[in-house]
Amino acid sequence: MKEAGEKLLNVALVGNPNSGKSTIFNKLTGLRQKTGNFPGVTVDAKEGRLRLPSGRELRLTDLPGTYSLHPTSSDEKIVAAVLANPRDPHFPDAVIYVADATHLEKHLLLLTQLLDLNVPVLLALNMSDTAAEIGIKVSPGILAERLGIPVVPVSGRTGENIQKLIGEVEKLLLAPLAARKPFYVPTELEKQVAEAVCLNLNLDNPYQALLIAHHQSWLPFLSPQERATLEAIVKNKEFQSLRIQVDETLERYDRFTPLVQAAVQNPPQFPSTPTDRIDAFLTHRWVGPLFFFVVMLLVFQAIYDWSAVPMDLIENMFSGLTSWLKIHLPQHWLSDLLTDGILAGFSGILVFVPQIAILFFLITLLEEVGYMARVVFMFDKTMRRFGMNGRSVVSLISGGACAVPAIMSSRTIGNWKERLITTMVTPFISCSARIPVYAVLIGLAVPANRVFGILSWQSLTFGSMYALGVLAAFASGFVLKKVLRTHDLSYLAIELPVYRMPHWKNLWLTVWEKVLAFVIGAGKIILIISIVLWAMARFGPGDDMQQAEAEALRIAATQQLNDTATADLVAAYQLESSYAGCLGKLIEPAIRPLGYDWKIGIALIASFAARDVFVGTMSTIYSIGSSDDDVMLREKMQSATFDDTGTSVYTLATALSLLVFYALAMQCMSTVAVVARETGHWKWALFQFAFMSLLAYFGAWVVYHLFQ
């Protein structure tokens, strides 16, 4: 246990992308982890607690993957900024450097830069079991002797040597930091610049000073005065940063390549592996894309078929709870708020958690086995025709979960134009927040009949919404490619990992984290929206509500309605006279051409907070004043009619129109905010919002009139 007043030491996991760093992090921390943000940026910072054999706890930080401390993407800049600033809260007391033992040489550039920062470093040779399987022999002893640091072969897949790794971390923290010769010997000019920076910023480490000199134009922790001083030093010394970075990189490779040759013994001839044979099929020019689309179609079908039972259980649980509360709670507006406002809103979201969990599970599974890297490789050439590159596929597919992290993942795209286009079109991809809307509307109007006894019309309609979003994304990307101009070079560098069994613990942790974030994030918004909507639907201007009730009772008496029908009539009249009804009627002329009534208008307005609020909004609106607690939302919507014509509101044309609107519209304030932050300008976020809203309105209008 940590003693009172004892500092909680920070150990950072550092490594290249696809080194298995996050898997090692999950092995070390398990559920003792949380996700936050680095100060001032939107990149996730994963932190966890690690208990050492002595009982002492450490804070373990999983830094974003990077290839070098001379960054080329926004994620890599985060790592460089942390390690160049000893006062940063994430600056480590020690580093666990995770490297892929099957491609060790590619991972030593960043390691040698860390050594020159003079922080305690431990090298974790991940995937050592895979290296042995393909005949690669790595000598930890030679590496430890030549580099002067502990080296531990580990396997994130099996957990081999994880406990040994933890023990070595404790030894590393207890041992005094030995003096270490710089791995990279700077030139005379670099020495002069480093000395000047150290003197002005009160630094001790020359290489840290060099990093600050290289990146002084963007490092966030520098004050304006410090930045001006550094700019003057660089200019006076004629410090040509880019050329010196290239020279440094080449010099480091020249120094550690002989070390790799001494420590790593490759087989005379690499055998044909199962990965090679599978790739011949899955990355084939024609078979590969076809297989990908089949996989996506099966994912959509699974979302519907696998989720039916748990959705029914959740639905029945909320229905029973609401009925019990209505019986046992006193007649009071607070009771109505709880049952018809808060519970109605939450049940409208939580019932779709099984579908969202299945989506996260399947996408994460494809990533874990190594298939997603092949998708990036296959579609790079195609994506370039639409102003993006292969890495954009990761963002677009991630958009199927949530547009916010998907847009942030575009930071790995080095080309500004391709990154901006990816950011602008990613929200077209149907995210998990749209699933509740799709499920309600498809179940409302689309028959459950199966085509050829296999795929249902409902799953095909569900998949077509994703297809519509993809088509809109590509079409928009093509237009933006023609409009935007840039001279940045574009390239794709990606390492295809071997196919492997998924790390099940890693997979379940990811699914749990994503679903929990969705429920909590949506729940905060839904709670507020549900209370506001309940109040708007229960109260009205002046004495309009009392007059509406009196008129409904008069009509009920004239028509000799029973108690249930009378209560429903009163509820309908009061809702129409409420503040919610007034607002819905105000915008009804603008949305009536799409086949929507004023109740749908209320839901559309509320949905701009978050798309998934639509279902909670409809649950709240249709449950106010109803005496039949067992009537499901879809049944209430099916019985809805227009006030002036008496015709049904939710026809096939209206349902399809709403589906298209929600597939294309930008209805997520969080996404708008993230786009503004990631692009650095609100103009891009506002342009995106206006363009997507207009496209959604036009598309919904066309669909409604085609199927009317």
Please identify every stretch of the chain with a pLDDT value under 50, giving residue numbers as ranges.
1-5, 37-42, 623-631
* The model's pTM: 0.66
- Is residue 5 situated within a structural domain? no
- Is residue 89 situated within a structural domain? yes
User: How many domains is the chain built from?
Assistant: 3
Q: Distance between CA atoms of 447 and 429, rounded to whole angstroms?
A: 25
* CA atoms within a 13 Å half-sphere pointing along the CA-CB vector of 623: 32
The helix/strand/coil state of 374 is helix
β-sheet with 33-37: strand ranges across: 33-37, 44-51, 57-62, 10-15, 94-100, 121-126, 151-153
Do 290 and 255 sit in the same domain of this protein? Answer: no
What pLDDT, on the 0 to 100 scale, is given for residue 38? 47
**How is 143-176 classified by DSSP, letter by letter?**
HHHHHTS-EEE--TTT-TTHHHHHHHHHHHHHS-
Q: Distance between CA atoms of 74 and 41, rounded to whole angstroms?
A: 10
Do 411 and 299 sit in the same domain of this protein? Answer: yes
Out of 265, 283, 311, a domain closes at: 265
End-to-end CA distance of the chain: 69
Out of 221, 237, 265, a domain closes at: 265
Do 422 and 484 sit in the same domain of this protein? Answer: yes
Task: Report the CATH number that the domain containing residue 91 is assigned in CATH.
Answer: 3.40.50.300
Do 339 and 423 sit in the same domain of this protein? Answer: yes
What pLDDT, on the 0 to 100 scale, is given for residue 506? 75
Do 216 and 132 sit in the same domain of this protein? Answer: no
Closest CA to 435 of 640, 153, 672, 662: 662
Closest CA to 619 of 348, 326, 434, 437: 348
The helix/strand/coil state of 58 is strand
Do 419 and 294 sit in the same domain of this protein? Answer: yes
Tokens 């790794």: give the residue.
165
Q: Distance between CA atoms of 510 and 22, rounded to whole angstroms?
A: 10
Closest CA to 24 of 376, 509, 397: 509
Q: How far is CA 358 from CA 143, 365, 413, 446, 627, in A?
A: 43, 10, 28, 22, 35
Do 216 and 326 sit in the same domain of this protein? Answer: no
Q: Distance between CA atoms of 413 and 73, rounded to whole angstroms?
A: 7
Query: Structural domain of residue 252, as residue ranges?
Result: 188-265
Closest CA to 337 of 324, 349, 322: 322
Q: How far is CA 44 from CA 47, 203, 556, 641, in A?
A: 10, 28, 58, 47
Do 398 and 350 sit in the same domain of this protein? Answer: yes
Do 485 and 607 sit in the same domain of this protein? Answer: yes
Closest CA to 404 of 42, 4, 46: 42
**How is 558-604 classified by DSSP, letter by letter?**
HHT--HHHHHHHHHHHHHHHSHHHHHHHHHHHHHGGGT--HHHHHHH
Out of 615, 635, 655, a domain closes at: 635
Helices (H), 140-286: 140-147, 162-174, 188-201, 206-214, 224-236, 241-263, 274-282
The helix/strand/coil state of 476 is helix
Residue type, 139: S
What pLDDT, on the 0 to 100 scale, is given for residue 352? 65
DSSP 400: T
Q: What beta strand segments (E) does 500-550 contain?
A: none
- Is residue 20 situated within a structural domain? yes
Residue type, 663: A
- Is residue 404 situated within a structural domain? yes
Do 124 and 216 sit in the same domain of this protein? Answer: no
Q: What are phi and psi of 99, to 5 degrees?
A: -125, 150
Tokens 């680095």: give the residue.
38
Do 368 and 303 sit in the same domain of this protein? Answer: yes
Tokens 């390549």: give the residue.
257
What pLDDT, on the 0 to 100 scale, is given for residue 374? 84
Do 78 and 219 sit in the same domain of this protein? Answer: no
- Is residue 340 situated within a structural domain? yes
Q: Distance between CA atoms of 708 and 169, rounded to whole angstroms?
A: 68
- Is residue 706 situated within a structural domain? no
- Is residue 503 situated within a structural domain? yes
- Is residue 530 situated within a structural domain? yes
DSSP 105: G
